[in-house]
Chains A and B, each alone.
Chain A
Amino acid sequence: MLKSYRNRNYKYILFVLPALVYIAILSFFPAASVVFLSFKTSKDVYSLSNYYAIKGSLLKATYDTVIVSFGALLIQLFFAILIANILIKSLKGNKIFSTIFIIPYGISTVVSAFIFSLIFAAVGGFANSTLHSLGLPVIDWYKTQYSSMGVVMFADFWKNTPLVALILLGGLSSIDPAMMEAASVDGAGSFRRFIHITLPNLAPFIAIALLIRGVSEFNIFALPLVLIGYHPSLINTLVYEYFTSISSVDYSYAAATILLLIIAAFAVLVIKLGGTSNYEK
């Protein structure tokens, strides 16, 4: 009886197989081949020479990517917590607010980048036009590499905060309101309630949001490509830059492998720190 049950159980893997095979062929296999090819040089010798050749720009791009990713993550997290805390209250007009807050999610990344390139134009542009009409000095948003990266972070914050806010809102609504009330009766102010009740209960959700957003943050490509091109290059744009010029295709494999490593490291870090986060049973 048990055996027949097992057999019946395992035949259903056939239904899952198409999706799994699809992912294996188009995802795992290509990723593995990138790592393999990154060691191959034009003379068919396997060595680290691709990595050595681009060591300088790779380090710089990695450094810049880490700054942009963590910067954008922190801004997103901060504003997402604010938004989730607003939306959880039953304010009048909350429906309108939640609709407005979700709009960026529906505007495609390249269109967002396009709009922000008009707002933060190097000369003129809508942001400067605001400053100008207020009588303030205008700013060259791309004057330094860090200000350029700031523009990318801002655009990224705008595009992706809604997603983080939705995840955290899910977390907030799982907190028992009775707990809040009890704390309030015991005399805890709203700040102390936030620190001692909201944050600890929200922590696992923050870990999930960090994992999901962090991984995509290290992969940001369209935004920096449209907004700042290769000044400075982030890892993704660097890979693309090498890939699009025939003489340096080999280097793109090395840069891509490093990107793979960074993402793996980040995922392990968040899962270790998040501790409890796990897949649904």
Chain B
Amino acid sequence: MKNNNIPSYILAIILSIIFIYPLYILILIAFEPISLTFDRLYPYQLPFDFTLANFESSIKDLSLITPVLRSIVVAFIVSILAIVLSTSAGYGLNKLSSRFSNKIIVLMFFANMLPAIVIAIPISVYFIKLGLYDNVLGIALAQELVVLPISAFIMLGGFRSLPRDLENQANIDGAGMISTFRYVIMPLIKVPLTITFLLAWMTSWDEFTYAIIISPLAPTFPVSLYDYVSRGEPFISASFALIVTIPVILIVVFLQKYLKGEYLTGGMKA
């Protein structure tokens, strides 16, 4: 049995190296003096030196801090809106007959398949008229489309797992609708709420297509990183990219135990 596992180990280690190498490079260029990385034709692969100078210069560069703050604001609007819309939708879907609610879910996921760029172009035209162009709210409203179906599905799952009579019992005990929700239901759907929030947050943080088309002049972090790279000045943003990437990796590692197939496939089942 032990011998059987050796090929698996070798494979796992090779794959691990492939998967970790780019992150290693990002860390390397963040902490190495640029004389050893960007300034060399063949950059060194091993950490020969250590410096915080890159961090200092990138933090001093205020032009990068604004996009990051913007990204954070957008991500919070997207995830809060996702919580509000999908809690309501999940609650409603759970009460509808399952044939009917499945049709609605399919419809939502169908909308999710529409290419972002196809939707972003006409939306940007409306948003110019509405004053939402080059605006954090505009980006957030568009990005909401990406997360809404999966959020509704996750919340539906959360409500389905509740005991059926819960609300009636709370009613009999004299709790009104709002206090039922606040004190009886809320604590029981904490996990799906957290997952919805974090997934929405991460999706918005990562989103590029809507962001670049709807807000090219007031960019989010991904868009401004693209601007730097396309202008040929990647070194300014390298250490910044690392700072903003670490928290998201931590979120993912935390989410790992919840990232079972069912959430990611949006409930499509074999």
Contacts and interface: CB of A to CB of B under 8 A. Distances in A.
A27 B256 CA distance: 30
B106 interface: yes
A38 to B, nearest CB: 10
Nearest to A271: B268
A28 B244 CA distance: 34
A133 B226 contact: no
Q: Interface residues of A toward B: which range?
A: 35 or more
Contacts of B267: 279-280
Nearest to A214: B113
Contacts of A19: 85-86, 88-89, 108, 148, 152
B145 A26 contact: yes
A114 interface: yes
Contact of B213 (A10, A162, A243): A243
A26 B230 CA distance: 30
B264 A163 contact: yes
A109 B123 contact: no
Given A31-B118, A118-B25, A256-B121, A225 B226 contact: yes
A263 B269 contact: no
B249 interface: yes
Contacts of A109: 206, 208, 222
Contacts, number: 289
Contacts of A280: 102, 267-269
A112 B95 CA distance: 42
A252 B88 CA distance: 37
Interface in B111-161: 111, 113-119, 121-123, 126, 141-142, 144-145, 148-149, 152
A111 B26 contact: yes
Contacts of A85: 8
Nearest to B104: A16
B176 interface: no
A255 to B, nearest CB: 9
A125 B113 CA distance: 36
Interface string A207-232: 01101100100110110011001000
B270 A83 contact: no
B48 interface: no
Contacts of B25: 115, 118-119, 126
A132 B43 CA distance: 10
A191 interface: no
Contact of A128 (B42, B119, B223, B261): B42
Interface residues of B, number: 96
> Chain B interface secondary structure, helix, strand, loop or mixed?
helix
Contacts of B20: 100, 103
B169 interface: no
Contacts of B244: 111
Contacts of B212: 240
Interface stretch (A43-51, A55-63, A165-173): A165-173
Interface in A86-106: 86, 89, 91, 97-106
A89 B8 contact: yes
A267 interface: yes
Interface in A116-175: 116-119, 123-126, 128-130, 132-133, 158, 162-163, 166-171, 174
Nearest to B202: A106
16 contacts: A16-B88, A23-B108, A83-B15, A106-B202, A106-B245, A106-B249, A107-B23, A110-B223, A111-B26, A115-B23, A119-B25, A125-B43, A128-B42, A239-B117, A240-B117, A281-B98
Given A23-B107, A125-B43, 11 more contacts: A9-B95, A13-B96, A16-B89, A23-B149, A86-B11, A89-B5, A100-B19, A101-B19, A111-B244, A132-B42, A212-B264
Question: Which 6 residue pairs of A and B lie closest in terms of their CB atoms, listed nearest first?
Answer: A170-B261, A15-B92, A204-B270, A106-B252, A12-B95, A110-B222
